[in-house]
């Protein structure tokens, strides 16, 4: 059965970070033969795609993006056993700043 998982994340437009999926639970004893990443919606710079067949994880490095935009990145894998599946990241491009949390206690 094919499943598509969408995770919503926040990325600073100045950041260059790695993102990815852990396919281990879904794969069971199967392994990843091929992994392809595709920008489905929006504009962002992609680089350095990787597959760790032992840990059953896929990864891509992303940088840039337009402040206020939402980007969707799809990872499609094919397994040694012939299965195919997709997972999609949804990333909101926003300035990431310091957030100060203050707790007030009254006695």
- Beta carbons within 10 angstroms of residue 20's beta carbon: 20
Is pTM, for the whole model, over 0.95?
Answer: no
Query: How do beta strands 70-79 and 32-41 pair?
Result: antiparallel
Q: Which two tokens stand for residue 56?
A: 């059953």
Cα–Cα dist 18/69, whole Å: 19
Q: Which two tokens stand for residue 66?
A: 């337009």
| 12-53 per-position pLDDT tens digit | 999 999 999 999 999 999 999 999 999 999 999 998 999 998
| 76-97 per-position pLDDT tens digit | 999 999 999 999 999 999 987 7
């Amino acid at each position: 059965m094919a499943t598509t998982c969408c995770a919503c994340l926040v990325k600073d437009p100045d950041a260059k970070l790695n993102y990815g999926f852990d396919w281990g639970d879904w794969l069971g004893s199967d392994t990843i033969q091929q992994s392809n990443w595709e920008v489905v919606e929006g504009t962002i710079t992609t680089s350095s795609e990787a597959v760790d067949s032992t840990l059953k994880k896929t990864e891509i490095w992303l940088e840039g993006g337009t402040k206020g935009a939402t980007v969707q990145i799809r990872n499609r894998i094919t397994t040694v056993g012939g299965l195919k599946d997709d997972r999609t990241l949804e990333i909101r491009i926003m300035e990431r700043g310091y957030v100060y949390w203050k707790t007030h206690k009254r006695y």
